[in-house]
Amino acid sequence: MFSDSVRFVGECYVVYPLLVFLVLAVFQAIIRIVRRYHKFPIPAFFTQLIDNPIRRRFIQPPEVVAERMDLKPGMIVVEIGPGKGSYTIAIAERVLPNGKVYAVDIQKSVVERLRKRIEREGVDNVYPRIDDAYALSFEDSSVDRVLSIAALPEIPDPVKALREFHRILKPDGLLCLSEILLDADYPLRRTEKRWADEAGFKMKKEFGNLFAYQLNFEKQKDSASAKPEDC
């Protein structure tokens, strides 16, 4: 009886992750097809599926993403599309003391959920706000890092958004883009590199693999390409 129970528990540990992955893969395929013809923000409930314990522990750990950003105490970070805030909080810890993380999203439900979480967990250097990726409410050259995890491809005009990120970043700032294969809008590395180049960025360092990768960009010395062509 005991051995049967142990065997059952062991099978659950194997089957459950596979089942979750299969459900996510099927749902992703459906969303990918729909969004090919109609761009819309990913529903808040889907972030609950994407941001799961398996992803955070094995595929895209928050502490690893934060480590790759080369964060220092006192830095100002803007995160585009914070989701549940798992990565937001990991980053906020690394910029203490005096550092701040502004977590911006276009959806009120995402912002409100994050606000409740940081209040519950006592995180006092994260500032959730509704903002427009095409016209962010930050001064020119005022931010040390801009982070986007599986959010940039959701934006209808990613290059336009990247030009706005370029505007708010300090001359020595970093743009950090991280993607995961489970995301319905998952772009290949070369696609994000092309978008970044068009917006006036150049590659500094890259990490990861096919399932999850992170690209760190810095401003090009000649940033004329960061300006919209019609300006």
In tens, the pLDDT along 99-134 reads: 999 999 999 999 999 999 999 999 999 999 999 999
Phi/psi for 141 (5° steps) reads 50, 45
Q: Please report which confidence band the pLDDT of residue 202 belongs to, taking 50, 70 and 90 as the band edges.
A: very high
Spell out the residues 6+ positions from residue 164 whose beta carbon is closer than 8 angstroms to its own.
Answer: 133, 134, 135, 136
Q: pLDDT tens for residues 30-49?
A: 655 565 555 555 555 555 55
Residue 224 has pLDDT above 80, yes or no: no
> Which range among 28-42, 55-69, 144-158, 170-184 shows the weakest confidence by mean pLDDT?
28-42
**What per-residue confidence (pLDDT) applies to 183?**
81
Residue 162 has pLDDT above 80, yes or no: yes
Residue 230 has pLDDT above 50, yes or no: no
For residue 97, whether the previous peptide bond is cis, meaning omega lies within 30 degrees of 0, is: yes
* Percent of the chain whose predicted confidence (pLDDT) is above 70: 71
Q: Does the structural domain 44-226 have CATH classification 3.40.50.150? A: yes
**What per-residue confidence (pLDDT) applies to 138?**
98
How do the domains of the chain map onto residue ranges? 44-226
In angstroms, the Cα distances linking 64 to 5, 59, 60, 212 are 36, 10, 7, 12
**What per-residue confidence (pLDDT) applies to 6?**
41
**What per-residue confidence (pLDDT) applies to 8?**
43
What's the whole-model pTM score? 0.78
Residue type (1 letter), 59 = I
**What per-residue confidence (pLDDT) applies to 136?**
98
The radius of gyration computed from the CA coordinates of the chain, to the nearest angstrom, equals: 19
211 alpha carbon, distance to own chain's centre: 14
Q: pLDDT tens for residues 18-34?
A: 666 566 566 555 655 56
Mean of per-residue pLDDT scores for the chain: 84
State the average pLDDT over residues 197-217.
96
